[in-house]
Amino acid sequence: MAPVKVFGPAMSTNMARVLVCLEEVGAEYEVVDVDFDAGEHKRPEHLARNPFGQTPAFQDGELMLFESRAISRYVLRKYKTEGVNLLREDNLQESALVDVWLDVEAHQYNPAISPVIYQHYLIPMRGGTPDQKLISESIEKMKKLLDVYEARLSNFKYLAGDFVSLADLSHFPYTYRMRHCLIPIQVSRRGGRA
Catalog residues that contact another protein under the rule CB under 8 A.
51-52, 63, 65-67, 69-71, 73-74, 77-78, 89, 92-93, 95-97, 99-100, 102-104, 106-108, 145, 148, 151-152
Shortest Cβ distance from residue 180 to another protein (Å)? 25
Length of the chain: 194
Rounded to an integer, what distance in angstroms lies between the CA atom of residue 141 and that of residue 40? 35
Rounded to an integer, what distance in angstroms lies between the CA atom of residue 120 and that of residue 22? 28
Q: What is the CA radius of gyration of the chain?
A: 18
Shortest Cβ distance from residue 43 to another protein (Å)? 16
Nearer to another protein, 51 or 192 (CB): 51
Nearer to another protein, 44 or 127 (CB): 44
Nearer to another protein, 124 or 148 (CB): 148
Q: How do 57-60 and 4-7 pair as beta strands?
A: antiparallel
Rounded to an integer, what distance in angstroms lies between the CA atom of residue 95 and that of residue 55? 27
Rounded to an integer, what distance in angstroms lies between the CA atom of residue 11 and that of residue 30? 14
Query: Which amino acid belongs to residue 155?
Result: N
Nearer to another protein, 104 or 135 (CB): 104
Shortest Cβ distance from residue 163 to another protein (Å)? 17
Shortest Cβ distance from residue 34 to another protein (Å)? 18
**Closest listed residue to residue 171, CA positions, set 31, 183, 152:** 152
Nearer to another protein, 5 or 152 (CB): 152
Shortest Cβ distance from residue 3 to another protein (Å)? 17
Other CB atoms within 10 A of residue 39 CB: 10
